[in-house]
Structure 1
Amino acid sequence: MSNPERIIRLKTVLQRTGLSRSTLYRKIADGTFPRQLPISVNGTGWHESAVQRWIANPSAYREDRTGGEAP
Structure 2
Amino acid sequence: MSPDITPTESSPAAFLAASEAAQVPPGLANFDKLPDSAHVRLPIVAQLFSIGPATVWRWSKEGRLPTPKKLGPATTAWNVGELRRTLAGGAA
TM-score (ref. length: structure 1): 0.69
Aligned to 1:40: 72
Stretches of structure 2 lacking an aligned partner (at least 5 in a row): 1-34
Based on CA coordinates, which of the two structures has the bigger radius of gyration?
2
Partner-residue secondary structure (3-state), 1:39: strand
CA RMSD of aligned residues (A): 1.8
The structure whose RCO (Cα within 8 Å, separation 6+) is larger is: 1
Query: 2:71–2:77: 8 Å Cα contact kept in structure 1?
Result: yes
Q: How does 1:1-71 map to 2 (within 5 A)?
A: 5-57=37-89, 61-62=91-92
Deviation at 1:4, TM superposition (A): 6.9
Considering fraction of residues, name the structure with more helix: 2
Percent of counterpart pairs with the same letter?
A: 21
Runs of 4+ in 1 over 2 A off after TM superposition: none
Distance of 2:87 and 2:51 partners within structure 1? 11
Partner-residue secondary structure (3-state), 1:44: strand
Stretches of structure 1 lacking an aligned partner (at least 5 in a row): 63-71
Aligned to 1:69: none
Task: Work out the number of aligned pairs and report it.
Answer: 58
Deviation at 1:15, TM superposition (A): 1.2
Distance of 2:36 and 2:85 partners within structure 1? 17
Distance of 1:4 and 1:51 partners within structure 2? 9
